Amino acid sequence: MDWNFVIWSLVKIIAVIFLAVMPIVAYAVLAERKISAWIQDRVGPNRTAPPLLAKIPIIGPFLISLGIFQPIADGLKFILKEDFTPAHVRKVYFSLAPAIAMIPALMTVAVIPFGSNLGEQAMVIANLDVGVLYTFGIVSLSVYGIVLAGYASNSKYPFLGGIRSSAQMVSYEISMGMSVIPIFMIVGNLNLSEVIRYQAEHGWMILYAPLSFVIFLVAAFAETNRLPFDLPESETELVGGYHTEYSSMRFGLFFMGEYAAMVAVSAMMVVLFFGGWTLPFGGLDQPAESIGMGIAHIGIFVGKLLCFMGLIIWVRWMLPRFRYDQLMDLGWRRFIPLALLNILITAIVLWFTTK
């Protein structure tokens, strides 16, 4: 066994999951609450803080006003709140569903190249030759947690939410998968690191496949159950949808799973369409020759990812929810034919340009 490979893989997993994804998930919630407050002309969280910090002049009140301690308080509330299981639920499935909803979003980041290299270590946990197939295979599993939650809750509103989620996943998973086919027709490789390398040499893929990006972006909203496609939750219609009966850390896992999925789809958009860790100037499109440049590449990737996270959050508070028939019509009658047309046009262009 190659212990060096095993140890470095564990280090990358710990660093990516616990030092990057989970903090981004926690503070994305704070960002959402602050952004929604700005849009609605409110203040947002600005009270939570340790008592000793509040006594520090100037610095204490400033940090409190930013609300940076609110995610810590929210996390403690999820952990310490009573874990109540209703008597009428199917208990095994009821407990299993939140984990199934959370874990796939974390597994997806395993094949995302979040940098070039640090020393001799490539900044990707698993550099698979079929990385995109792995990604779409794992992402599609999260819907099973939602469907299982709706079934296990043994209640009409969660059940309706689970049914909606399964139908929504089927319709938008197809168009999302088809939207990236032109990219791999152009690149000629399913390895995500190779996709980034191609963009470093020829320009970002958004220039070659803008329609693919639009389809992928809209499908990403549907895949993550975010407004304007949050029909599985739909608080005004289904109380809370599939997590109506959940509380405590079980509800917290659904909550974190949604934001972890946002991180995953944002990372995929950065890798597929916006050059990953590269920038087209200053030599930042070449593999790192020093530790400092390697860290800069990671910073570039995280910066692009946070821009997409901000876009997803902004859209939630700017657009109304679609009706369910509109959602299905958009998926089946608009996006799937459009994705097929996009593949056909790309194939024709490649046929004439590569002859």
- pLDDT of the chain, 355 residues: tens digit per residue: 667 777 888 888 888 888 888 899 989 989 999 999 999 888 888 888 887 777 788 777 888 888 888 888 888 888 888 888 888 888 888 888 888 888 888 888 888 998 888 877 888 888 888 888 888 888 878 778 888 888 888 888 888 877 787 778 778 888 888 999 999 899 988 889 899 999 998 889 999 999 999 999 998 888 887 878 887 777 667 767 777 888 888 888 888 888 888 999 999 999 999 988 888 887 788 887 888 888 899 999 999 999 999 999 999 888 888 888 888 888 888 899 999 999 999 999 999 887 6
Residues in Cβ contact with 191 at an 8 Å cutoff, skipping those fewer than 6 apart: 127, 128, 129, 130, 131
The length of the chain in residues reads: 355
Please give the angle made by the CA atoms of 89, 255 and 92, to the nearest 5 degrees.
Answer: 25
Q: Is residue 59 part of a domain?
A: no
pLDDT for 198 equals 92
How far, in Å, CA of 126 to CA of 110, rounded? 6
Query: Residue 41 falls within a domain, yes or no?
Result: no
Interatomic CA distance for residues 141 and 130, integer angstroms: 17
User: Is 138 a member of any domain?
Assistant: yes
Question: 309 is in which domain, residue-wise?
Answer: 85-353
Describe the chain by its helix, strand, coil percentages, rounded to 5: 70, 0, 30
The H or E element containing residue 122 is strand 121-122
For residue 136, the number of C-alpha atoms closer than 13 Å in the C-beta half-sphere is: 20
* Residue 164 near residue 232, CB atoms below 8 Å: yes
Question: Residue 319 falls within a domain, yes or no?
Answer: yes
As given in the structure block, the two tokens for residue 181 are 């086919």
Name the nearest CA neighbour of 205 among 173, 178, 180: 180
Could you tell me if residue 68 is inside a domain?
no
Q: Does the residue 234 lie in any domain? A: yes
The answer to whether residue 28 is domain-embedded is: no
**What is the pLDDT, as a whole number, of residue 250?**
86
Q: What is the pLDDT of residue 311?
A: 92
Q: For the chain, how many structural domains are there in total?
A: 1
What is the maximal distance between C-alpha atoms in the chain?
72
pLDDT at 1: 62
Separation CA 22–CA 14 (nearest Å): 10
Q: Assign 3-class secondary structure to 31-97.
A: HHHHHHHHHCCCCCCCCCCCHHHHCCCCHHHHHHHHCCCHHHHHHHHHHHCCCCCCCCCCHHHHHHH
Helix (H, G, I), strand (E, B) or coil at 189: coil
Is the pTM for the entire model greater than 0.85?
A: yes
**Crossing angle of helices 156-179 and 210-223, rounded to 10°:** 160
- Give the residue carrying structure tokens 């929604």: 36
Q: What is the pLDDT of residue 180?
A: 92
CB atoms within 10 A of CB 30: 19
Tell me, yes or no, whether 42 lies in a domain.
no
